[in-house]
Amino acid sequence: MDATDLARWQFAITTVYHFLFVPITIGLSAVVAYFHTRWVRTHRPEWLRLAKFYGKLFTINFALGLVTGIVQEFQFGMNWSDYSRFVGDIFGAPLAVEALLAFFLESTFLGLWIFGWGRIPERLHAATMWIVHIGTLLSAYFILAANSFMQNPVGYRYNPDTGRAELTDFFALLTNKVQLVTFPHVILAAYMVGGAVVMGVALHLMRREALPAEGVDPADRITSGDASLYRKAVRIGAVVTLVAGLGVAVTGDIQGKIMTEVQPMKMAAAEGLYESVPEGQGAPFSVLTLGTLDGQHANPIIEVPGLLSFLATGDVNGAVAGILDLKNEYAKTYGETGNPLVADPATDYVPNIPTTYWTFRLMIGVGMAAAAIALAVLWLTRKGRTPTQRWLFWAAVAAPLLPVLGNSFGWIFTEVGRQPWLVFGLMTTASGVSPSVSAGEVIASMVGFTLLYGALAVVEIKLFLHYVRRGADPFEQPQQPSERDEDAPLVFAY
């Protein structure tokens, strides 16, 4: 592999790893804020215990997400300097606002939430976690605005004197049609993850609490009577997972139609559709295909007639352009211009079909599986029931992992399906890599990052599981600000 391939692998590894934490941070911050608000309104002990318990898990995840996110921006300068030089005027604007505004809100108010127990009025204290959540939403919005420009460039002009794309309309950048549908889709997917984490953790603890004492190691027992506490969290998490999952499906359907409009090759690659399907015929969607997907040996096993046309156009008989026709169109539009930034003789403007095809289906499949678990859990815990079936342990393990994987598969599909473009229609991936970086240098940094991220993963998992095993701490009435010594040092309050 050359430096371009290695740089892509490095960015893929670090980005997918970082995005394991992002949806948990967004989704869990909303649920913790809800629990804390319920405590302030009712002063029922279970709400405070749940807020503090899931607040610990949120803080652990936030710290790892912060550390891994910083690396992302370094790579733009290290491995992708030509890309940064070409679109830095555009790409840098939303990222700068994200760092100065959104991250400031997240980090500052999370600190107030952690150290504010008994030091600030309880309503204001609860509001700090809502502000943290708003910060995560703003952060996601500005970052997605930058990514949406790569999918559908708007609000810019090309300056031939400098050879750079320059920002002309920041509002157009923030209201990109791709951005307006991607943002709700990503946020709802994050809520799905947050709900699934709450459900999975609480399901395990509820089952462990409710198991009969015989044959259970005393070390595995939790404070007596907590099964009802965790059952409440299980049901809240399951409802959030289901409602958010429905929103993901609706926004994903809209996103598919926008994607077909601005990047028809990505939709064709998602189906491995080589031949165009004309109006009135209806393109089928293959649930399962075996073969090479090279246009000669693709063998659909299960097909849904007209579904691809509906996903792409909203009409089961709509026309869908195929890979071969689009490849010829792009070769004329871009390949014959003589512009080296848009020339792509290596792939002929076709993304990796197997990766695009399967990540699209895995994204949908694992999301549906998570929703199915949530629905089953709601049914099993109805009318005060506290189920303890053995398979629920594996459901508790799978519940948070499935939507996290769904988010990752979705982003892999989004980015691989855009290839060979860094910025669609303006710059190919091969044109954006740093010309002075050698393959050996990229390998060295990639090995270093991979080893570091592996060590961080061990720390994250050990900390997360440690606090999950401990469960929610016993209830302690928080002190009021008027009861505290003003000169007492700050402590980690929970």
Specify whether the backbone of 165 is left (phi greater than 0), alpha (psi in -120 to 50) or beta.
beta
In the prediction, which pLDDT does 291 show?
A: 57
Rounded CA-CA distance 59/52 in Å is 10
Sequence-distant (6+) residues with CB within 8 A of 139 are: 98, 102, 103, 106
In the prediction, which pLDDT does 217 show?
A: 52
420's tokens = 């060979």
More confidently predicted of 207 and 494? 207
List C-alpha distances in Å: 71 to 18, 64, 74, 200.
9, 12, 5, 30
In the prediction, which pLDDT does 220 show?
A: 47
Contact 242, 374 (CB under 8 A): yes
Confidence band, pLDDT 50/70/90 cuts, at residue 31: very high
In the prediction, which pLDDT does 287 show?
A: 78
- Taking each helix axis from N to C terminus, what angle separates 177-210 and 122-151, rounded to the nearest 10 degrees? 130
Q: Helix %, strand %, coil % for the chain, to 5?
A: 70, 5, 25
Which of 60-74, 96-110, 305-319, 469-483 shows the lowest mean pLDDT across its residues? 469-483
Sequence-distant (6+) residues with CB within 8 A of 347 are: 419, 420
State pLDDT tens for residues 322-349: 888 899 888 888 887 778 888 877 778 8
Instruction: Please give the mean pLDDT across all residues of the chain.
Output: 86
In the prediction, which pLDDT does 219 show?
A: 47
State pLDDT tens for residues 124-136: 999 999 999 999 9
Rounded CA-CA distance 45/212 in Å is 25
Q: What is the mean pLDDT of residues 408-423?
A: 92
Query: pTM to 2 decimals?
Result: 0.90
